[in-house]
Amino acid sequence: MEGGPLLEQWWTEASKTVIPYLNITARFEGPPDQDLLKVKGGRGFPYCTLMDAKGEVIWEVRPSGKDAFAKGVKGATALAKYQAALAKDPENKALKANVGILDFMGRSQREKGSTVADLEELAKAEGVDAEILKEFSSIKKSEQIMGALRNQRRDGGKALLDLARKGVAPDDDDDMATQFWVTVTQAAVNAKDKALATKAVDKFVASAKGKPFEERAAEFGADLKKKIAAIPDDDKAKDDDKAKDGDKAKDGDK
Amino acid sequence: MRVIAGALALTVALSAAAGAQSNEDKYKKKLEKEFVSKVEWVTSLEKAQEAAAAQNKLIFGYFTRSYSP
């Protein structure tokens, strides 16, 4: 962070849209505002937040790039606006949904106050902000994918394979894309699903482009492609299955 | 025995002093980092809150540490 994004020109410009506050935990008396990390909900350094004029944390954002930071500022501004409106109209269901979803999105280190299932109920209200609903769809998809990724050791990637078969996958620029597609490739190879494995391995290699592990991913992708090539073509596999079924039926006749 | 205990206490005290000094040095070094001079950081949360209220802006808080890399 300090040797990267915080040295970039976009950050110098973006910092003018907020009040940049620097808190350094130094472990000696003297520097201002010591031991504030935990008070503000941080679990580790560096911790990056957007706070209101009362010092309340509204949104956790890593200024990893111009767009990510702008998205955080936009989300925090919208959340503050909807929180103020909800304070005046506490029974308004659409406002509750807007606040609930945005609050969920703005918490990465702080404990989330609600679950996706809670928000699903809230999101049924009429008049919920369409842009927030769209973000909520993305959250639901990410939660599904993260849950399947957490389970991959237990189920050998079956849940991920099911998601990929249903067309549920992370966006190409999502950090989860590489892990998702490599696991789907391996699970598809094991399931002898040649078409999906072929698509998944290309997605896996593409997702690693420009990343430090690009070369290793390309090599591993080449190995996986050899395994995929060894899978019988789908039609042939189906024919083989039919033949097996036929043999079973004949055995049954006997 | 007393001499050993005294020497040990002195060593501990000196180490503690050296540690405190070291943390101050580390803090100074942190403030000399390029990222600090790139932006006009406010280092008091109270002042940041006053500025946020006056300029109707959000505060971006960057929490870091100097005692350890």
Spell out which residues of chain A touch residue B53, defining contact as CB-CB under 8 Å. Answer: 53
At residue B69 the predicted structure's pLDDT band, cuts being 50, 70 and 90, is confident
H helices of A89-193, where?
Answer: 93-105, 116-122, 130-150, 152-155, 158-165, 177-190
Residue A254 pLDDT > 50, yes or no? no
Closest residue of chain A to B43, computed from CA coordinates: A22
Spell out which residues of chain B touch residue A23, defining contact as CB-CB under 8 Å. Answer: 43, 45, 61-64
At residue B9 the predicted structure's pLDDT band, cuts being 50, 70 and 90, is low
- How far CA A28 is from CA of A36, A147, B66, in Å, comes to 14, 42, 10
**Chain A (213-242) residues lying within 8 Å, Cβ to Cβ, of chain B:** none
Residue B65 placed within a domain: no
Contacts of A55 (CB under 8 A, 6+ apart): B45, B48, B49, B59
**Residue among A234, A235, A150, A153 at smallest CA distance from A186:** A153
The chain B residues in contact with chain A (CB within 8 A) are 20, 23-24, 26-27, 30-31, 33-36, 38-45, 48-49, 51-53, 55, 57-67
**Peptide bond before residue A5 is cis, with ω within 30 degrees of 0:** no
**Residue A234 confidence (pLDDT):** 63
Owning domain of residue B43: 2-55
Residue A89 pLDDT > 80, yes or no? yes
Closest residue of chain A to B29, computed from CA coordinates: A26
pTM across the whole model: 0.74
Query: For chain A, what is the mean pLDDT?
Result: 90
Residue B36 placed within a domain: yes
* CB of A102 less than 8 A from some CB of B: no
Q: Rounded distance, CA B64 to CA B46, Å?
A: 18
Which carries the bigger pLDDT value, residue A167 or residue A244?
Answer: A167
State the sign of the Cα–Cα–Cα–Cα dihedral A161, A163, A167, A173: negative
Q: One-letter amino acid identity for A92?
A: N
Residue B50 placed within a domain: yes
**Residue B14 confidence (pLDDT):** 47
Residue B44 placed within a domain: yes
State the sign of the Cα–Cα–Cα–Cα dihedral A147, A151, A152, A153: positive
Task: Provide, rounded to the nearest whole percent, the portion of chain A with pLDDT above 90.
Answer: 79
For the record, the structure tokens of A175 come out as 């950090």
> Are residues A200 and A181 in contact, defined by beta-carbon separation less than 8 angstroms?
yes
Residue A245 pLDDT > 70, yes or no? no
Q: Rounded distance, CA B4 to CA B6, Å?
A: 5
Spell out which residues of chain B touch residue A108, defining contact as CB-CB under 8 Å. Answer: none
Q: Per residue in A97-151, pLDDT tens?
A: 999 999 999 998 899 889 999 999 999 999 999 999 999 999 899 989 999 999 9
ipTM over 0.90: no
Q: Per residue in B12-59, pLDDT tens?
A: 454 555 444 689 999 999 999 999 999 999 999 999 999 999 999 999
To 10 degrees, the CA torsion angle through B32, B37, B39, B45?
40
Q: Are B59 and A76 inside 8 Å of each other by CB?
A: no
**Residue A238 confidence (pLDDT):** 52
Quote the minimal CA–CA distance from B5 to chain A in Å: 27
Residue B67 placed within a domain: no
Query: What is the domain partition of chain A in residue ranges?
Result: 5-128, 144-253
**Residue A247 confidence (pLDDT):** 53
User: What's the order of all strands across the beta sheet hosting A19-25?
Assistant: A19-25, B59-65, A47-51, A57-60
Instruction: Provide mean pLDDT across the span A84-104.
Output: 97
Q: Are A49 and B63 inside 8 Å of each other by CB?
A: yes
**Residue A235 confidence (pLDDT):** 57
Residue B69 placed within a domain: no
Q: Are B41 and A24 inside 8 Å of each other by CB?
A: no
Q: Are A27 and B23 inside 8 Å of each other by CB?
A: yes
- Smallest Cβ distance to B64: which of A32, A45, A73? A45
Q: Are A19 and B52 inside 8 Å of each other by CB?
A: yes
Domain count for chain B, please give it. 1
Spell out which residues of chain A touch residue B57, defining contact as CB-CB under 8 Å. Answer: 17-19
The residues pairing with A60 across neighbouring beta strands, listed in sequence order, are A49
Query: For chain B, what is the mean pLDDT?
Result: 82
Q: Are B30 and A19 inside 8 Å of each other by CB?
A: no
